[in-house]
Amino acid sequence: MHRSWQLDFYRRPLQDPSGSPLWELLICDPQMTFTYGEFCPQREVSAPWVRKQLQIAGDRAGGWPSYIEIFRPQTVSLVEVACRELPIEVRPTREVPTLKQWLRERAVWYPTLTNYVPDAYDPIAIDRPAPNPIADYLMGEQWQFAAIGSNGLMRLEQEPIPISSIPADLNPVSLGLPSTLLIPGVIINGGRQSMALSQWLQSVQPVMLQYIAGAPHGLLLEAGLSDRWILATFEDSDVAGAARTFTERKQAAQGLHFLLVQPDESGMTYTGLWLMRSTASKQIAAVST
């Protein structure tokens, strides 16, 4: 029995004998000890087709996984419908490193096939909507770039914070970060909107924060599978300097950073805490190991 599967079902740069685009279903477990794949003509793409393939995969694997992880938004809704009659939970997530590596390997193989279509193809690219501004009232009274030592961050994680997301694999010690290293982040003083902001953040599932240089400069929140939110825009040169320092510290910390929501500047109570890591840094770390 495999505890989890990673799954993708989408168009490939291939066609069937009639010239119709081919879709491909790929399933693997995180260790690649179980894999399953099947092609599907675009005209046959449907939830019943996916359900049938999942049943075949389940038989071959000797049982159902507890959940299936999916990174592609278009695939999520289709598989959710397919799984309504199956004992499998569908979990949308950007973090499916085994599957994405498999997709990259297959992208190298496709051009060797006779039914290959030489179109531009990125195996893990997804459609990215334009960023939406967060409602002004949610951002509360003020925000700032900040940094805290690894030990201080771990102490903060022990605070009774009502809403938080602190993945175990993002512990500074687990990442091998020195205790003296400053972990960058953003602190929002939410005032009376502190809880409403934290609840909203939890609902969109924060993934990482990004500073976007421009006129004006921007602070962007990547969330969910492909959503992007504009947390703030600014033109102040001092704030832009703090944003550049935030980015540099994030690189030094292997992409690790935090988002902290508190009702005021007292530092006595906190409403929400998210520990995140930039995707690019994760890929670099995976290659280096």
Q: Hey, what domains does the chain have and what are their CATH numbers?
A: 4-112 (3.30.420.10), 132-288 (no CATH)
- Average pLDDT (174-181) is 88
User: What are the tens digits of pLDDT across the range 218-261?
Assistant: 999 999 999 999 999 999 999 999 999 999 999 999 999 999 99
Report d(CA 26, CA 54) in Å as an integer.
Answer: 10
Quick check: 285 pLDDT over 50? no
The whole-number pLDDT of residue 282 equals 53
- Average pLDDT (4-27) is 96
Q: Answer whether 74's CB lies under 8 Å from 259's CB.
A: no
Token match 């278009």: residue?
74
- Average pLDDT (53-58) is 96
Quick check: 169 pLDDT over 90? no
Q: Answer whether 236's CB lies under 8 Å from 219's CB.
A: no
154 vs 204, more confident: 204
Q: How far apart are the first and last CA of the chain?
A: 28
Q: Tokens at residue 213, please? A: 């240089």
Backbone dihedral angles phi then psi of residue 48, each to the nearest 5 degrees: -60, -40
**pLDDT > 90: percent of the chain:** 75
Q: Answer whether 206's CB lies under 8 Å from 221's CB.
A: yes
Quick check: 126 pLDDT over 80? yes
- Average pLDDT (112-116) is 96
Predicted TM-score of the model (pTM): 0.80
Quick check: 280 pLDDT over 70? no
Listed in sequence order, the residues at least 6 apart from 74 whose beta carbon sits closer than 8 Å to its beta carbon are 10, 127
How far are the Cα atoms of 7, 67, 178, 207, 225 from residue 181, in angstroms, in the given order?
A: 37, 36, 6, 22, 30
Q: Answer whether 235's CB lies under 8 Å from 219's CB.
A: no
Q: Answer whether 173's CB lies under 8 Å from 195's CB.
A: no
Quick check: 68 pLDDT over 90? yes
Q: In sequence order, which ranges of 14-131 are alpha helices (DSSP H)?
A: 47-61, 73-82, 97-109
**pLDDT > 70: percent of the chain:** 96
Given strand 163-165, what is the order of strands in its sheet?
Answer: 142-149, 182-189, 256-262, 272-277, 163-165
Show the 3-state SS of 179-240: CCCEEEEEEEECHHHHHHHHHHHHHHCEEEEEEECCCCEEEEEEECCCEEEEEEEECCHHHH
128 vs 54, more confident: 54
Query: At 154, is the pLDDT very low, low, confident or very high (cuts 50, 70, 90)?
Result: confident
87-91's contacts with Cβ under 8 Å and 24+ in sequence apart are 88/54, 88/64, 91/67
Quick check: 283 pLDDT over 80? no
The whole-number pLDDT of residue 137 equals 81
Quick check: 108 pLDDT over 50? yes
The whole-number pLDDT of residue 2 equals 58
Token match 């976007």: residue?
212
The whole-number pLDDT of residue 286 equals 39
pLDDT, mean over the chain: 91
Which stretch of 11-15, 65-69, 156-160, 230-234 has the lowest confidence by average pLDDT?
156-160
Report d(CA 75, CA 94) in Å as an integer.
Answer: 13
Quick check: 101 pLDDT over 60? yes
Quick check: 281 pLDDT over 60? no
